[in-house]
């Protein structure tokens, strides 16, 4: 599961892959370490067209996952002798979000697979954690960390409890798709890798094609496409380069 990535390139670099989006910001600060439940730049389809917007990483978790988490919390409270109103507890169950989407046949995800909820997640490198291999293992297209994008989905104005201290929040959310790993990623993390788009044609298809065609992009990059560019760090600081 990819829960850490970097984005250190400019808005102009994004336009080389997908030109037609509105960008209220002319540039962005480099983000060498993007973590779950924090904001990151995505290019998302909106009613007036694609737009670059800072959006919180972590789509809503499934009802089943939240029900099970609330049930465990209720059981812990009962063991302490407390009376539990489960109907009141369930809607307030904290949900920090689901960062990676693999099973696109799930009814939970199908509602967000249409064009209206598609997005591109710009990145320069991503990490897969493997303790035996040195911790965070960073992958990029090559040592220069050229920009690519992840195929993502987003949900506008979702109301949930992300943190108990803040209570209910209504915020925009995103996540990206994963697939079976290629050889390089599989040697470190055999379960999955992000769905990566590297050409303008692929980006255009993800943002505009019906799901029957777009689903074909949920596939690994060919073997030999990625390189390990860093190990054992939480931020890929080496990604700062001039355009």
Opening angle at CA 154, ends 151 and 157, nearest 5: 170
Q: What is the spatial distance between Cα 219 and Cα 182, in angstroms, rounded to a whole number?
A: 9
CA 7/CA 30 separation, integer angstroms = 6
pLDDT at site 27: 79
147 and 16 in contact (C-beta within 8 Å)? yes
Of 31, 225, 1, 235, nearest to 102 (Cα)?
1
- Euclidean distance between CA atoms 73 and 59, whole angstroms: 22
pLDDT of 243 reads 47
**pTM, rounded to two decimals:** 0.92
Q: What is the pLDDT of residues 151-176, one digit of tens each?
A: 999 999 999 999 888 889 999 999 99
Beta 39-46 vs 5-7: how paired, if at all? unpaired
Residue-range domains of the chain with CATH: 5-58+98-237 (3.90.1680.20), 61-94 (no CATH)
Distance CA 96, CA 115 (A): 25
pLDDT at 85 over 90: no
The whole-number pLDDT of residue 240 equals 66
Greater confidence (130 vs 85) lies with 130
Is residue 203 scored above 90 in pLDDT? Answer: yes
pLDDT, one tens digit per residue, over 8-52 is: 999 999 999 998 899 876 678 999 999 999 999 999 999 999 999
């Amino acid at each position: 599961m990819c829960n850490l990535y970097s984005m250190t390139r400019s808005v102009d670099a994004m336009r080389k892959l997908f030109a037609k989006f509105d960008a209220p910001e002319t540039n962005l600060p480099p983000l060498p370490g993007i973590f779950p439940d924090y904001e990151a730049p995505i290019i998302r389809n909106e009613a007036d067209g694609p737009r670059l917007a800072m959006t919180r990483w972590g789509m809503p978790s499934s009802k089943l996952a939240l029900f099970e988490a609330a049930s465990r919390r209720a059981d812990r409270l009962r063991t302490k002798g407390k009376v539990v109103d489960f109907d009141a507890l369930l809607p307030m169950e904290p949900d920090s979000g689901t960062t990676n989407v693999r099973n696109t046949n799930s009814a939970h995800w199908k509602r967000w697979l249409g064009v209206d909820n598609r997005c591109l997640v710009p990145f320069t490198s991503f990490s897969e954690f493997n303790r035996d291999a040195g911790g965070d293992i960073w992958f990029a297209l090559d040592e220069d960390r050229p920009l690519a994008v992840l195929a993502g989905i987003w949900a506008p104005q979702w109301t949930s409890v992300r943190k108990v201290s803040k209570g209910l929040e209504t915020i925009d959310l995103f996540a990206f798709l994963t697939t079976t790993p290629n050889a390089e990623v599989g040697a470190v993390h055999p379960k999955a890798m992000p769905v990566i788009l590297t050409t303008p044609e692929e980006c255009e298809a993800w943002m505009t094609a019906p799901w029957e065609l777009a689903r074909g992009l949920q596939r690994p990059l060919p073997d030999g496409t990625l390189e390990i560019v860093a190990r054992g760090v939480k931020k890929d600081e080496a990604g700062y380069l001039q355009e």
